[in-house]
Structure 1
Amino acid sequence: MTALRPEREDAYGTAPYESFGGDPYGGQPYGQESYLPPPDEETVALRIPEPPPAAFNGGPISASGAPTAPGATGSASGGRAARRKAAKGRRGRHGGAPAAADDAPDMPSQGERPLSRVEARRRQRARKPSAAVVASRAVGEVFITTGVLMLLFVTYQLWWTNVRAHAQASQEADSLQDDWASGKGNPGTFSPGQGFAILHIPKLDVVVPIAEGVSNKKVLDKGMVGHYGEDALKTAMPEDKTGNFGLAGHRNTHGEPFRYINRLEKGDSIVVETQNEYFVYKMASILPVTSPSNTSVLDPVPAGAGFTGPGRYITLTTCTPEFTSKYRLIVWGKMVEERPRSKGKPDALVQ
């Protein structure tokens, strides 16, 4: 026996088992088709209805049964006010692009209460670096800048001063040679800073002009060797028949012509070339360390050199240790040959 199919009754009266404008059992809102299970041909016993199709991303179901996209027009999207609010959130407050995440104010996480303006400002200030951090960064930048400046200064002292001094000394030597070749030289008394001879130290490959005076600015810093010829430290000239020819030069920087004179050994040649003659000296002794005020090393018979009486001597003075000016290094030599330029170069310069 087949059971009869009951009809549903509601506020609209009796209606067959079909779609209604609204679901009185808590289903879809009015204006959308409610989902009802298909009739069972075999039995009319009660059964749990199948769930409706899944909504599109949590959105409502259209009247045709298809899911409706979020934000679509219609009453399900929340109306015109909801659409304006959504568009405003996408474009920003003034219709521009959304603010960057870093620029956005602190937003409370899910479940937290909204922050007040004071709390938001406090949290924003807490993210800023403290005064100690700012100070440490500033000190670090100062140290880095100082280090760079010191590196530049060292480069200038150790490299550029030598480059410039070598160029100036070479130019002065060429000028001397040209003057001697043309007969413009003026043997005798020279003004401070004026070149008048050339010093050769073959063992050290040193060829450097000799100028009058020991001024740093006028002579030594230009890569030349200076003659002690002024005031109380006045010494003899090479052509003098007796006396001590005293010279000074930099050991480091500014051409550093006397950097390696500590390597000279007894018997090594030291040659002074003038307009008319070559004066050849042989290294006799060395004083590794002495006080800068020890001027007795420039005496006509220098103390400590080992000479026993008057003669024709040469004294080379420079600073020691290297890169300091605390002490002086002294090298002495004794003249062994005086050779006119007309006879050619001495053997010490030919070898």
Structure 2
Amino acid sequence: MRVSVVQHSTRRWRARRRRALWAGGEVLVTLGVVLLLLVVHQLWWTNRQARDGAERRVEALEREWGAGGAEDRLIDSGTSPEASEEPRAPEPPPVAPTTTTRSASRPDPSHAYAILTIPRLDLRVPVAEGISKPDVLNKGYVGHYPGTQQPGRAGNFALAGHRNTHGEPFRYVNRLDDGDEILVETRDAVYTYAVDQTVPQTSARDTGVLRPVPRSLVHPARGYRHPGYYLTLTTCTPEYTSTYRLVVWGKLISMRPR
């Protein structure tokens, strides 16, 4: 009877191969766990953290505005343009509005100074100056495009917000229909806009949507031709990408003092 002889070198090679396969498997499992944790962090934890922070900021603004007496709301017509530029009726002015404001009325960068409410989406988030991701958008805030108008003034009050992750305040803005109300609250007034037009998809470089009289440069049929009091909401589309932009426009329909 013949007995097969297995050389020591062959056994060592097989042992090394088994160890290599085992080590490779461990590396793949570890990478899978790390990727899963990253996905959980990005899709769940950042949302929870940003939403909690945004809710606290909204509550802080409400307390701040509620604590102020009537004397704190008096507007000096010589220093604040709101006393003369806030429209009492949402009719377009006879001349094209300007997007510049006096330095005294410009909010500090990254400072939350207003509250955006969209009843249809059950959304209530702070509005901060600027569109910086780390300082504004990633906090779950909605950011005001510098250079565009302030709420209630002639021109275009333009805002940006995340559609996915970091609170995703604009996750469902695609569900808005014509006539849906959007409220913007400041220390002194509440401005109500009504959704009027939507651009489901346009280029990220379509700067026409931010002009004083907003009009898409990619889709010229979408937008406006006459000065007025406009609100613009922008976010990324399709979901979980930043390739294109979704745009919602509204017109001012009413204003009431707080």
The normalised TM-score by structure 1 is 0.59
Structure 2 match to 1:108: none
Pair 1:200 & 2:134 matched: no
Aligned to 1:97: none
What is residue 237 of structure 2 aligned with on the other side? 320
Quote the residue 1:244 is aligned against. Answer: 156
C-alpha displacement at 1:145, in angstroms? Answer: 1.2
Residue of structure 1 in register with 2:130 after alignment: 213
Are 2:62 and 1:177 aligned?
A: yes
Inter-partner Cα distance in structure 2 for 1:281 and 1:177: 20
Task: Map Cα deviations across residues 142-166 of structure 1 (whole Å, 9 max, x no partner).
Answer: 2211111110000000100011001
AA matched with 2:240: F
Determine the C-alpha separation between the residues in 2 that align with 1:294 and 1:130. 61
Alpha-carbon separation, structure 2, partners of 1:180 and 1:277: 11
Partner SS, residue 338 of structure 1: strand
The answer as to 2:195 corresponding to 1:283 is yes
* Aligned 1:88-103 pairs, distance under 5 A: none
RMSD: 2.3
User: Does 2:184 match 1:272?
Assistant: yes
2:39 to 154, 159, 167: 154
One-letter amino acid of the counterpart of residue 152, structure 1: L
Distance in 1 separating the partners of 2:18 and 2:245: 49
For residue 302 of structure 1, what is the aligned residue in structure 2? 214
- For residues 303 and 313 of structure 1, what CA distance do their matches in structure 2 show? 11
| Candidates 246, 251, 254, aligned match of 1:329 | 246
Task: Note the residue ranges of structure 1 that are not aligned, 5 or more in a row.
Answer: 1-110, 114-118, 342-351
Could you tell me how far apart the structure 1 residues matched to 2:62 and 2:246 are? 30
For 1:171 and 1:190, the matched residues in 2 are separated by: 20
Letter of the 1:333 counterpart: G
Percent of counterpart pairs with the same letter? Answer: 49
One-letter amino acid of the structure 1 residue matched with residue 18 of structure 2:
V
Q: Which amino acid aligns with 1:272?
A: V
How many residues are paired up? 220
Q: 1:142 aligns with which of 27, 33, 44?
A: 27
| TM-score normalised per structure 2 | 0.79
Structure 2 stretches lacking a partner, 5+ long:
81-104, 217-221
Give the structure with the higher percent strand. Answer: 2
Query: Which structure ranks higher in relative contact order (CA pairs < 8 Å, sequence separation ≥ 6)?
Result: 2
Rg (Cα) greater in structure: 1
Aligned-residue offset at 1:269: 0.6
